[in-house]
Amino acid sequence: MLNRADVVIIGGSAAGATAAISCRRRYPDKKVILVRKEEQVLVPCGIPYIFGTLGSPMKNLIPDKLLHDNDINVVVDTAQQINKERKVVHTDGGQDIEYDKLIIATGANPLALPIPGSEKENVFVIEKDIAYLQNMLDEVNKAKDIVIIGGGFIGAEFADECKKNRDNNVTIVERLPHCLQLAFDDEFCIEAEKMLNDRGVKIITNQTIVEILGDKKVSAVRLSDGRELRADVVIGSIGVRPDVELAEKSGIFINPATNSVEVDRYQRVINSQDIFACGDCAVKISYFSGRPSKTWLASVATEEARVAAANLFGVCYAGFWTLGVFSTQIGELAICAAGLTERQANQEGYNTVIGSAKATSKHPGSLPGSSPTSVKLVFSKCNGIILGGEVSGDTCAGELINVISACIQNRMTACAISTFQMGTHPMLCASPIAYEIVNAAEEAFIKLK
Ligand SMILES: Cc1cc2nc3c(=O)[nH]c(=O)nc-3n(C[C@H](O)[C@H](O)[C@H](O)COP(=O)(O)OP(=O)(O)OC[C@H]3O[C@@H](n4cnc5c(N)ncnc54)[C@H](O)[C@@H]3O)c2cc1C
């Protein structure tokens, strides 16, 4: 069967769906086909919440209405090969789909656990697959002892959700001195760990799991110090690997150092004006150092998708590269980070100046629902430009970090941020006198002088 479209997109998740919608907005007359493997697509960032708050994978789906309303033709099939010369995508189901422009958005797969015994039953990684996650949920519901390998933000979210409304033991095993350490400075990690502990999650740091024990099914794990922990379920959350299988076998250049599709700042693959890649499968370059980065986020994937769509029929603008904005919530505590932490900035070689501020999220602080919010900003000592920021507090942290991200993307100085005019309201944010971002910037500005 031969099908034809002006734009063909392979992948139906954050990057693919965003690219399709952005194409439709920009080119109302073009025919757009989106090819994806799955009938229904999970919200990837919502996966941890299936295990507590949502209670089912079926409550965590990207609505197809978004695509239908934008007149995107969806083909549920696996793209098997791209013929670059004939400009055709061949699918497992025997379809040949001709394209004028092609966007590859095949995402990433979880890293397999490099631990003896990881093939045993009830040892899971985080697959974006409804049936797999339903089985995992059923086992989590039955389990008394759950061990989570990796205390990054996904591991921490899983731990919190697996504990929710259950009489079980949940333990995170993290190889670094703190959970969340790759994204946050120590004081924020410690705050998050305290919240996890208060909610009944046990944390073991500075340890790896060297063996998964049991017959057919897991029964325990052995730590690097020799201790054994009982485990009915093990959940591995140690990272992802870009899914470049299709691109690689179709002769598209894969950067061996990053195992991802090499793209330029317009999201074009090497040596082609007609093929683009975006999302987790495409190379990530640090905004700060210009070196490859291992930051795979939906926020980055969707930005790249919009850049790819913008440049399809002639270059419109270059992308930004990867800044890294992380947000998570554990219990009532939201913690978020953008750009470089103080530790990372110092490792890069910056001399840094720090500004910090704390305020209540509403004003006066006696208003119901008001809670303390802390902001830390990191500036370069030599020019006063902001490099990063971290926020902890209630849900307002999620948008405060986005303001900080905008400051970083616009290379704002401590002086400029300290005179930033914000909107405030007693029920919605901190007092204008104490507004955290401005006060933290003013503190840093004074230190810089
Ligand atoms: C548990 C979890 C929580 C997360 N939380 C956050 C968060 O809070 N914030 C954040 O910014 N990021 C978060 N992330 C990261 C984020 O989910 C990813 O960066 C994002 O999903 C990347 O989107 P993508 O479209 O590039 O890839 P994917 O989501 O991996 O999607 C790839 C798509 O391509 C399809 N596909 C692959 N190969 C083929 C083929 N040959 N033919 C047809 N279709 C194909 C797949 O079926 C899928 O539809 C989280 C990730 C996970 C796993």
* 378-398 pLDDT per residue, tens: 999 999 999 999 999 999 999
Q: What is the CATH number of domain 332-448?
A: 3.30.390.30
Q: Is the pLDDT of residue 1 over 80?
A: no
pLDDT tens across 292-318, in order? 999 999 999 999 999 999 999 999 999
Measured from the Cβ of residue 197, the count of other Cβ atoms closer than 10 Å reads: 11
pLDDT tens across 74-113, in order? 999 999 999 999 999 999 999 999 999 999 999 999 999 9
What per-residue confidence (pLDDT) applies to 63? 96
Q: Span 43-67, mean pLDDT?
A: 97
- Beta-strand relationship, 233-236 and 123-124: parallel
CA of 189 to the centre of ligand 1 (A): 26
Render the burial of 257-266: b for 16+ CB within 10 Å, e for the rest. ebebbbbeeb
Q: pLDDT tier at 320 (50, 70, 90 boundaries)?
A: confident
Q: Span 62-77, mean pLDDT?
A: 96
| Tokens 């974006």, located at residue | 128
152 lines ligand 1 (CB under 6 A): no
Question: In which residue ranges of the chain is CATH 3.50.50.60 found?
Answer: 2-108+241-310, 112-238
The architecture in CATH of the region 2-108+241-310 reads 3-Layer(bba) Sandwich (3.50)
Question: DSSP states of 96-113 as a string?
Answer: EEEEEEEEE---EEEPPP
Q: Span 152-180, mean pLDDT?
A: 97
Tell which atom from ligand 1 comes closest to the C-alpha of 128.
53
CA of 174 to the centre of ligand 1 (A): 24
What per-residue confidence (pLDDT) applies to 271? 87
What per-residue confidence (pLDDT) applies to 35? 98
CA distance 295 to 277: 16
CA distance 430 to 428: 7
Question: In which residue ranges of the chain is CATH 3.30.390.30 found?
Answer: 332-448
Q: Above pLDDT 90, what percent of the chain? A: 99
| Tokens 């195992």, located at residue | 259
Q: What is the CATH number of domain 112-238?
A: 3.50.50.60
| Tokens 């495409």, located at residue | 282
79 lines ligand 1 (CB under 6 A): yes
- Label residue 39 exposed, middle or buried (CB < 10 Å: 0-12, 13-18, 19+): exposed
299 lines ligand 1 (CB under 6 A): yes
- Predicted TM-score (pTM) of this structure: 0.96
Beta-bridge partner residues of 328: 335
CA of 299 to the centre of ligand 1 (A): 11
CA of 41 to the centre of ligand 1 (A): 10
